[in-house]
Amino acid sequence: MASAQTAVVTGAGSGIGQACAVGLARQGYRVAVADVRPDASATTAAMIHEQGGEALSLAVDVSDSASVQRGFDRIVGQWGGVKVLVNNAGIVHQSLLEHLSDEDWHRVLDVNLTGMFYMARAAIPLLRAEGSGGRIVNISSVLSTVTRPLNGPYSASKGGVNAMTRALALELAPSCITVNAVAPGHILTPLTVPMFTPAVTRAFEERIPLGYLGQAEWIADAVLFLVSPEAHYITGQVLFVDGGYNINGDLPNLEFGR
Ligand SMILES: NC(=O)c1ccc[n+]([C@@H]2O[C@H](COP(=O)([O-])OP(=O)(O)OC[C@H]3O[C@@H](n4cnc5c(N)ncnc54)[C@H](O)[C@@H]3O)[C@@H](O)[C@H]2O)c1
């Protein structure tokens, strides 16, 4: 990059968001590290500083539009503008839909979908002010298309992320701002490590065509590509980074009749 540009990453205190923030800083971006847990965003910002990068640690709750606006005000005060938004913050709440409370339904939708809307809405005027080449990348999930019982609210929120990605891509295309989603498969992060018991890990290794769980850095690699100049003609897409999980309709250990 000719001169340092600003990237904002939500949920950057952990897992995939942290890998994106560190990766963007290595590419020369000044990174606004936003997380609802200030200690976590401070840790990621310190990692970036240790590697010689520029970071601003922000306490932002993406589900609260006033908190989102305060975060952007600090970024503009410090650095003047925004070129890249990585909408990554997300939560999981496992429950059958029939037993799910109003509160738990709204919490998942508020963070995973409405939070991405609040962030994008606040970022759009800043992205436009930078001229063409702005980027939004939303972190969706393979569970936006294939799903499992207990993941109803999560899948609904991520299906909404895919739809909103396409709508935003159309609305921002005239400004040459691209909007895409990355849909991770099963990635080892603090969110999922408790779920991946040895039996669950073995079952996923059998079900994932490439045969292994993913790492946060591999999702960050896809995000770094989508924000790069080389990806300027890609918009409104959902890129699955899942070892092939979403295409696997195989029935293993069966011989089919002819
Ligand atoms: N890990 C996986 O296997 C996987 C798979 C598919 C999609 N994803 C998606 O990737 C994203 C990151 O997941 P992860 O595995 O790194 O999770 P993680 O729990 O390790 O990190 C999520 C971060 O988001 C922050 N956060 C939560 N609520 C927030 C809020 N209201 N405002 C701001 N920050 C908030 C948390 O404090 C945390 O630091 C999520 O959107 C998740 O749905 C993860």
Ligand 1, atom 40, lies closest to the CA of: 90
Per-residue confidence (pLDDT) for residue 125, from 0 to 100: 98
Per-residue confidence (pLDDT) for residue 221, from 0 to 100: 98
Cβ partners under 8 Å of residue 175, min gap 6:
127, 128, 132, 134
Q: Which pTM value belongs to this model?
A: 0.98
* Mean pLDDT score across all residues of the chain: 97
Ligand 1, atom 22, lies closest to the CA of: 11
The finding on whether 186 has its CB within 6 A of some atom of ligand 1 is yes
For residue range 88-142, list pLDDT tens digits in order: 999 999 999 999 999 999 999 999 999 999 999 999 999 999 998 999 999 999 9
For residue range 18-54, list pLDDT tens digits in order: 999 999 999 999 999 999 999 999 999 999 999 999 9
Would you say residue 229 lies in a domain?
yes
Would you say residue 254 lies in a domain?
no
The finding on whether 155 has its CB within 6 A of some atom of ligand 1 is no
Would you say residue 1 lies in a domain?
no
User: Which bin fits 29, alpha (ψ -120 to 50), beta or left (φ > 0)?
Assistant: beta
For residue range 201-231, list pLDDT tens digits in order: 999 999 999 999 999 999 999 999 999 999 9
Would you say residue 249 lies in a domain?
no
Per-residue confidence (pLDDT) for residue 46, from 0 to 100: 98
Percent of the chain with pLDDT over 90: 96
Would you say residue 251 lies in a domain?
no
> Average pLDDT for residues 62-90, to the nearest whole number?
98
The finding on whether 213 has its CB within 6 A of some atom of ligand 1 is no
Which tokens go with 143?
A: 């569970």
Would you say residue 74 lies in a domain?
yes
Per-residue confidence (pLDDT) for residue 1, from 0 to 100: 52
Host domain of residue 97: 6-240
The finding on whether 13 has its CB within 6 A of some atom of ligand 1 is yes
For residues 24 and 218, what is the distance between their CA atoms, to the nearest angstrom? 13
Residue pair 96/70 in contact by the 8 Å Cβ criterion? no
- CATH number where 139 lies: 3.40.50.720
Per-residue confidence (pLDDT) for residue 142, from 0 to 100: 98
Residue 118 annotated in active site? no
- End-to-end C-alpha distance for the chain, whole angstroms: 57
> Average pLDDT for residues 57-79, to the nearest whole number?
98
Would you say residue 184 lies in a domain?
yes
pLDDT for 152 beyond 60: yes
CA 91 – ligand 1 centroid, Å:
6
For residues 192 and 207, what is the distance between their CA atoms, to the nearest angstrom? 17
pLDDT for 3 beyond 80: no
pLDDT for 177 beyond 90: yes
Would you say residue 256 lies in a domain?
no
Residue pair 68/42 in contact by the 8 Å Cβ criterion? no
For residue range 182-203, list pLDDT tens digits in order: 999 999 999 999 999 999 999 9
Task: Count the domains in the chain.
Answer: 1
pLDDT for 2 beyond 50: no
Report the atom number in ligand 1 closest to the C-alpha of 15: 16
